Structure 1
Amino acid sequence: MHISGIYAALGTLLVLVLTFRVIRRRFSSRTGIGDGGDRELARCIRVHANAVEYLPLALILLFLVEWNQTQPLLVHGFGITLIVGRILHAIGLSRSAGSSPARLIGMLLTLLTMLGMALLLLWQSII
């Protein structure tokens, strides 16, 4: 699957960037496991974990949507929206543990994309 592979690669790059942020903060705070009470490290860990929680299922849905021979433009639309949503969420949560426009928009884009793909797959299965 060529299209979903693009977004799987982009999602992986995002997770790697977030991983390196955690590693860098662990070194600077000298924390081997957990967050050691470091609020910034805790936030870095949470941002990374959130991406790891949502991206796998969303990418499986994207792969299945493409596999069902959905119009390539629609597959790209889902993929772009997913990646933009994940990036916005990571930016918003990285800046503040509280609510922020980027975090809210990022989460909405992610959830709506996943919902759209799930409903499309159900619809395609019925037809």
Structure 2
Amino acid sequence: MLPVTAFYAGLIAFGFVYLSLRVVKQRHAYRVALGTPHRLVERAVRAHGNFAEYAPLALVLMALCEANGLPGWALHVLGVVLLAGRALHAFGISREPEVMTWRSLGMGLTFTMLGVAGAALIGLAAAGM
């Protein structure tokens, strides 16, 4: 069982649903069935798309860390950094005008989480070889 990863995966799922519904709302408001001809539709689509591009890999890395014995406190740090990064990025890219500081900080946190989790996995794997 991977209870810590499961907890953060559940929270990430709620974020994904929220961003998905924002895309549906923007498409309905601007009567756009396909494509992104309106800037607010484009922002909603990219916030959702970027979340979909990064969150799954982050959760896989987190699950592997948990399965390989990374301490619970470290898993929670990874989870909080991931959630903060994804939320800040979505907030920053969704605004008109864009809040580049929040968007950049969100990506920085996401990259940090991915890098730390990747390094932890290399260390855990090396220790177990």
TM-score range, shorter chain: over 0.9
Structure 1 residue 91 corresponds to structure 2 residue 88: no
Aligned residue number for residue 60 of structure 2: 60
Structure 1 residue 45 corresponds to structure 2 residue 45: yes
Aligned residue number for residue 18 of structure 2: 17
SS in 2 for 1:126: helix
Distance 1:5 1:97, change over 3 A: farther
Q: Structure 1 residue 8: deviation in Å?
A: 0.5
d(CA) in 1 for partners of 2:45, 2:95: 13
TM-score, normalization by structure 2: 0.94
- Range moving further from structure 2, 13-22 or 88-97: 88-97
d(CA) in 1 for partners of 2:99, 2:119: 28
**1:43/1:97 contact within 8 Å kept:** no
Gap regions ≥5 residues in structure 2: none
Q: Structure 1 residue 69: deviation in Å?
A: 1.4
Q: Structure 1 residue 99: deviation in Å?
A: 5.9
Q: Structure 1 residue 95: deviation in Å?
A: 1.0
TM-score, normalization by structure 1: 0.95
Aligned residue number for residue 30 of structure 1: 31
Q: Structure 1 residue 34: deviation in Å?
A: 0.9
d(CA) in 2 for partners of 1:126, 1:31: 51
d(CA) in 1 for partners of 2:70, 2:44: 36
Q: Structure 1 residue 96: deviation in Å?
A: 4.3
Aligned residue number for residue 108 of structure 2: 108
Number of equivalences: 126
SS in 2 for 1:48: helix
Structure 1 residue 81 corresponds to structure 2 residue 101: no
Q: Once the two structures are superposed, what CA deviation does each residue of 1:16-75 show, in whole Å capped at 9, x if it has no partner?
A: 10000000111111111111x211101100110000000000000000111111110000
Gap regions ≥5 residues in structure 1: none
d(CA) in 1 for partners of 2:99, 2:90: 12
Q: Which consecutive segments of 4 or more residues in structure 1 shift more than 2 A?
A: 96-99
d(CA) in 1 for partners of 2:97, 2:42: 10
Aligned residue number for residue 4 of structure 1: 5
RMSD: 1.1
Q: Percent identity?
A: 33
d(CA) in 2 for partners of 1:54, 1:11: 11
